[in-house]
Amino acid sequence: MELTITERAKSVIRDFVNRSDGELRAVRITSHPGGAAGTRFELSLVAESDRDENEVQLDMGDFSVLVSREGADRLEGATVDYVERVNESGFEIRPARKAPAFSGPPKGELADKVKEVLETQVNPAVASHGGHIALVDVQGTEIYIEMGGGCQGCALSRMTLKQGVERMVRQAVPEISAVYDVTDHTSGESPFY
């Protein structure tokens, strides 16, 4: 299994290990699939002896990483980082970007309703920041959107999705069960800060 841990995240983990007097030398990463934001990950510091027989152990030198065999697929190629933003700080796991298998431009009544909300409510709001949001797929009652322009790579894109886009779309189209952002935020050229 391939997992990247940034130097900043390693430094914070080493600090936690040192504070435990070396007793807790493993980071357990637990994944919980589903939800509007996709897979949710939790990190906890544990003793290496707490390893479950169903867990894969990765040696990172100063510490180990423990991941359940089922969760290993979700973490394959992911990056663990420690981020400090204006209103939050903590570990962030960025799953590997896999090319979504979309079947072409979204069609149908649900797609038309969502496109209408994006064009009339959402895009005029994000245009002031040089951004735009497009519907890329509809699967059942779940929609997949992509952020572009100033929204791509923006530090506030997650908040824009949860408090703006998702709220507006769900109000106008209540049959929507989930909104997923499939944007590659690591390649944004001119995000608005």
Which CATH class, in words, describes the domain spanning 3-94? mainly beta
Exposed/middle/buried for 60, CB within 10 Å: 0-12, 13-18, 19+?
A: middle
So what's the pLDDT on residue 96?
A: 72
Confidence at residue 164, expressed as pLDDT on a 0 to 100 scale? 81
Delimit the domains of the chain by residue range.
Answer: 3-94, 109-187
Listing DSSP states for 65-93 in one string gives EEEEHHHHHHHTTEEEEEEE-SS-EEEEE
Residue 10: the pLDDT is 93
Residue 7 has what pLDDT? Answer: 92
Q: Which residues of the chain have pLDDT under 70?
A: 33-38, 97-103, 152-156, 185-193
The reported pLDDT for the residue numbered 122 is 87
CATH superfamily, with its number, for domain 109-187: Fe-S cluster assembly (FSCA) (3.30.300.130)
Report pLDDT for 190: 52
| Residue 39 backbone dihedrals phi, psi, to 5 degrees | -70, 135
Q: Residue 130 burial (CB < 10 Å; 0-12/13-18/19+)?
A: middle
Q: What is the pLDDT of residues 109-144, one digit of tens each?
A: 999 999 999 999 888 888 877 888 889 888 888 888
- pLDDT single digits (tens) 62-82: 899 999 887 787 788 888 888
